[in-house]
Amino acid sequence: MIDHQEDFLRGELRHALDSRQPDRTAMLNRIAANRSGHHRPRRQALRLAGSALAVTGVLGIGGVAQWALAGDTPLTPEPAAPRPAATTTAAPAPSAPVSSSPEAASSAPSRQPASRTPSSGLPSASTAVAPPTPPTPAASPVRGHPGDTQVVKGSMSSTSSIAGTGHSQVVITAGADLTEFDLMIRVPLTPGITPGAGTSDVPGVTVTVEKRADALIYRYLLGAGKTITAGTYVFDARYGGPARDAAEDTYESYATSVERKRIHLYGNFLPKD
């Protein structure tokens, strides 16, 4: 009785298997279309689940049919439908901008990023603080030679002369008050010369005499905070010794007027025509 029922069941299953021809290609195309379509995630998940259930059903029916036909003839199991591989498209890596300039292209490999210092929003010291007024420079021993003189500048002028043996004199005329003043008379050393006194009729001016290796230096310097009012002033340099040639004697002066204008004069003691 049991053998009769098994034969009957196997016959029915064989008949059902012969009459059912599943379209595997259509099923795979539907699965691929569902995966590649732009649908909402929930509907796509439901379709994928339905497709997987259909594939499982087909495989299950094939297994049962194989069991039913195992008693008669061995069947080669039908290969399972391959799952289409999910296609992953990698985002293209951002490419570096290409410069259209040949010079930029040739120098790009060695170019280093410039460092940037974060700005604090405050002005730099060079723009926030005004530079101090430069000090009055000392007179130069090279100015005043023949062909290199400047006896008039702005509101100030000068004259010079040999007032007698061992006596050099400079006269300064100021057309405006002076807040800074520095005059230097240079007398080169000659055989038998000795330093003497330096004098001036300008109040607030300090006179110093210095013997250097090559010359006697007479300096007339206005004190800090003092002012020379507009006018004409005489500055004398005296020295001892025999008569000498004054061709190399020179003088040079720096001054600042009340208008904050810098004045520079220089000359010599050669005879004036």
The verdict on residue 176 lying in a domain is yes
Q: Is residue 218 part of a domain?
A: yes
DSSP, res 190? -
Q: How many CA atoms lie within 13 A of 88 on its CB side?
A: 1
**Cβ atoms within 10 Å, residue 228:** 21
From CA 217, how far away is CA 206, in angstroms rounded?
Answer: 14
| Residue at which a domain ends, from 19, 47, 69 | 69
- d(C-alpha 42, C-alpha 124), whole Å: 63
pLDDT of residue 175: 96
Q: Are 202 and 182 in contact (CB under 8 A)?
A: no
162 and 65 together in one domain: no
CA distance linking residue 127 with residue 11, whole number of Å: 106
CB 257 within 8 A of CB 177: yes
Q: What is the pTM of this model?
A: 0.50
pLDDT under 50 in the chain at which residues?
A: 39, 64-65, 67, 71-77, 84-110, 112-131, 135, 139, 142
- The token pair at 66 is 């194989």
Q: Distance (Å, rounded) from C-alpha 123 to C-alpha 114? A: 22
Same domain, 156 and 65: no
Whether residues 65 and 156 fall in one domain = no
Regarding whether 263 and 157 lie in a shared domain, the answer is yes
Taking the CA of residue 108 as centre, how many other CA atoms within 13 Å lie in the half-sphere pointing to its CB? 10
Is residue 104 a part of any domain in this protein?
A: no
Q: How many structural domains comprise the chain? A: 2
Distance CA 221, CA 183 (A): 7
Helix, strand and coil in the chain, % to nearest 5: 25, 30, 45
Would you say residue 29 lies in a domain?
yes
50 is a domain residue: yes
Q: What per-residue confidence (pLDDT) applies to 12?
A: 77
Residues 55 and 156 in one domain: no
pLDDT in tens, 180-236: 999 999 999 999 999 999 999 899 999 999 999 999 999 999 999 999 999 999 999
- Please tell me the predicted confidence (pLDDT) of residue 187: 96
pLDDT given at position 27: 80
User: In 3D, which of 201, 200, 218 has the Cα closest to residue 209?
Assistant: 218
Q: What is the pLDDT of residue 122?
A: 42
Q: What is the 3-state secondary structure (H, E, C) of 194-237?
A: EEEEEEECCCCEEEEEEECCCEEEEEEEECCCCCECCEEEEEEE
Q: Which CATH number fits the domain that encloses residue 243?
A: 2.60.40.700
* Residue 184 identity: M
In a domain, 122, yes or no: no
254 and 159, same structural domain?
yes
CA–CA–CA angle 172, 173, 174 (5° rounding): 115
For residue 13, the surrounding DSSP H or E stretch is helix 2-19
Q: How far apart, in whole angstroms, are the C-alpha atoms of residue 140 and residue 119?
A: 45
Question: What is the distance between the alpha carbons of residues 224 and 233, in angstroms, rounded to a whole number?
Answer: 19
Residues 160-169 have pLDDT tens digits of 999 989 999 9
Which structure tokens are listed for 206? 């300090």
Q: What is the pLDDT of residue 125?
A: 39
Provide Rg for the chain, Cα atoms: 56
Q: What token pair was written down for 224?
A: 């800090």
- Residue 235: which domain range? 152-268
Select from 46, 69, 92 the last residue of a domain.
69
Whether residue 58 sits in one domain with residue 164: no
Residue 19 belongs to some domain of the structure? yes
Domain endpoint, select from 35, 54, 69: 69
Do the domain assignments include residue 223?
yes
